[in-house]
Chains A and B, each alone.
Chain A
Amino acid sequence: MLRFSPLAWAKLEYFCHRGDTEIGGFGVSKPNDLLAIEDFATLKQRTTAVSVVFDDAAVGDYFEAQVDAGRTPEQFARIWLHTHPGNCPQPSMTDELTFDRVFGNASWAVMFILARGGERYCRLRFNTGPGGAMVVPVEIDYAMPFAGSDHDGWRAEFNRNVHEEPVIVRGFANGSRRVEDPLDAFGEYNDALEPLLDADLFDFDFDECEVL
């Protein structure tokens, strides 16, 4: 089970609803309980209503700072957290590709997705022995110690790290239109954005989403 401290969860929810875009970060865990998240750490990132990309140099800076703080990579770089618009937390093809490419060589990793509607998805992957993956439950653990909220600090961190960009809608001479993600997070799967042409993003029909 993945457990969040109430403070870490509150901060994640704050970031999820602070703007109109996806956001992401890492869970920072207790040294002796790696699936117990004490803090939600964000870093400089570009975001749109449908995607989020971390700044590469900021990831390097984050690793350096966490190591300087005395933490090991298992504590700060294995639990990847991000949000989705609407109600569907199911991972996209982009999410799966990132989870495989970035975290597939670590001995274990977690992909956690929080949808703005409140649904959650969490998968633990382990690469030791025969390897494997499983969807795991999530809870907010009120038995973990926690301080009060820090809206001023969270707002400053959000403004410092989250750089929002609009989704691009291109019109063509033949009357057709195309939605493009300026972060190019969809790559060859950009056609997945096509349904957004006919729907407001946050009214988009997520009924086909099956939450595991």
Chain B
Amino acid sequence: MGHYVPHTDAEIAGMLRFLGMSSLDELFASVPEALRLAAGLDMADGLSEPDTLDAMERLAERNRRAGRELVCFAGGGAYDHEVPATVRRVAFRSEFVTAYTPYQPEVAQGVLQALFEYQTLLCRLTGMEVANASLYDGASACVEAVNLAVAATGRQTVLLSDGVNPNWRQVLETFAAGTGHDYVRCQIANGVTRWPDDAQPAALLVQYPNHVGCLEDLAAARQLADNAGALLLVAFDPVAAGLLHSPGHFGADVVVGEGQPFGTPMSFGGPYLGLFACKRDHVRRVPGRLVGETVDADGRRAYVTTLRTREQDIRREKASSNVCTNQTLIAVACAVQLAWLGTDGLRELALRCARGTRYTRDALLAMDGVDPLSDAPVFREFAVTTPVPGDVVVERMAEEGFLAGVPLGDEYGERGLLISVTERRTRDEIDAFVGAFEKVIR
């Protein structure tokens, strides 16, 4: 139907005359005849706007969305946090949504300043000195952290904790096929990583809190990294930063993470936000875009993407990364949400998650047959084992109106269930969840 092409038939005819052409087909004269689609695309014709939205709604209705009918206790890298109206209304203004990468800083100060503020907020959360303007997701941030560590140390081996999100570890393995990086898998015992003490790796990669919810001993990991001359890479939970020490406090060199909890609905997994921050020593190896403050020709404060010689469009095959399009809009939403929370609100958010988690965990562990995966301290999610496997619990709990958690793979021992409790969960919801849980595990 082409509703979005403004040309009238008369205008098209006039424009073709201007070009000395008599038909639109002539525009494609350089496409060899044999390659042209004589019959057009084998697809349905276009729909009107209401018909399109009807079709999309019919698909959306075939999902069971999280909400009162399916109360969400699932986490594992995607969390059911509140997204305030302010974020939805302000971060998604069309000036932010429909702008390109800020290559012309004179007309892109809005996005540039928002990114500068995002970088500042991320550094304050992580205890780092430099943050980039975003990567794709938690997995890609891990990949880039490893690439930085390998380039910085000249070593190829990385100690990879089993406590790192399993999907992210799969992505690391996928990209290792090209870079030749070698991952040494480090298992977790009683909830925390057991590191080999005789390795000479480029880095240790650890998650804090880890995938089964437990608080890793980052001080010990730092000590091990120092002994080996390796970098400490920490995948952190930005919500935890409201209550826990920052990874920077423990001496992390690079901090990465998944920024979805701030301002992004669960969205079936994307677009999310790859958080990346590091010590200033590594600034020339930072992947992707970095915004810096400077002045304009009149000496007024201005912002611009900087240290551009790291990037692919200039450095080509020697670039620090191939990333070009990133997740800027999601980073802006993250900045808006963090500012909305504020210093006090971030602490309260973390505290509320921890309280709900404690309340839920205590109630579940009081049941016969429900055991903790470990005794290590947890923060906002925890793993249990039950008489029936985790995926069966999830299936049965869905009938009761709950998304009970994320089933854990065999690598964590018995087939357990990872349960997450955000600030949105009320005592009544938790009590009902516990009641249903008791019923389905038998």
A and B form one complex: no
